[in-house]
Amino acid sequence: MRYIPEPSSNGHTLALVLLLCLGLPQAATASSNETVAVWKNIDQFVVLAPQDAPVGDTAPPNDQPVAIEPADLSAALGKLRVYEGKGSQEGVPLFEAVAAENLATQLGIALRRATSGQDILFAIEMQQKSALFGSNPVSVAGRVFYQNQRLNMIIGELHVSTVTAEYKTYPIGYPKLDRRLHPHQTGRRSQEARFDPVARFATSDGVNLYERDGKVRSDWLVVEVGAFVKRSQPAAEAPAVPPATKSASAAPESVGAAQIHGGASPSFEERLLRLKHLREQDLITAEEYDRKRKEILDQL
């Protein structure tokens, strides 16, 4: 779905209002035909938007389109941890399991469609355990792009309550949150996000914080998706003859226009079952299901 302005000024204003309703203040400054919705579910979304740039600089082209299996993305997203609160020693998941799976599915689609001049903006909701009992609905929003064989994720909104303060005193339940008043903050290259309460992301062999000219961005994660895929798979027996390896500078392989990254390829049965699951969850359209199913069957 593309937001294309009408020739009249009223139509252009309406297009900008639609973008604001999505909670994308950064995208509202660009031509509406450059912002493409990949997925939207009430206040959750994944969209393609024009690539932003650091202050006084230009961003290098993204390595997109790129094909990463949703299961591999989900494994990586599910391992991301954040220490919330000053002095916190216990990390909590950045994405709850179901949210990680749902977001990974849509990011996989978006990364295949994105060009080198586009970023992916997202907002996803989940239930976070309360300090005492129960859980609270919260959201995470950010900007994603693929560069230098790594998934870059700038977090602009970290576990923000989807029930704002003024609604807690509402006399009859909670009305629907007005995103025109509370837009999602999707993060930017030009400005580091400040989280409240103070939070810091956990790093590991496959997760680092972005660093440039000695300055570390506390809101910018650089994730090696393959690191988590390899750990989740059983070790294979060493071959009698070692396979030929590519140099680090070699160009990645591609199928069509999209590069392929991640672990071992799933079987035809696994691909069909996964596709069926996506359709049953209404994450893809009937037309997309039929087209992809035919592609898989044609390869048998």
> In the sheet that 215-223 helps form, which strands lie side by side, from edge to edge?
36-41, 44-50, 118-129, 135-147, 150-161, 215-223, 207-212
Map out the domains of the chain as residue ranges.
Answer: 40-233+254-265, 270-300
Length in residues, the chain: 300
On whether the CB atoms of residues 128 and 159 are closer than 8 A, the answer is: yes
pLDDT, one tens digit per residue, over 3-49 is 333 344 444 444 444 444 544 434 333 343 479 999 999 889 999 99
List, for residues 245-296, the tens digit of each pLDDT value.
444 444 444 334 566 555 445 666 777 877 787 777 777 888 888 888 888 7
0.85 exceeded by pTM = no
In the chain, % of residues over pLDDT 70: 70
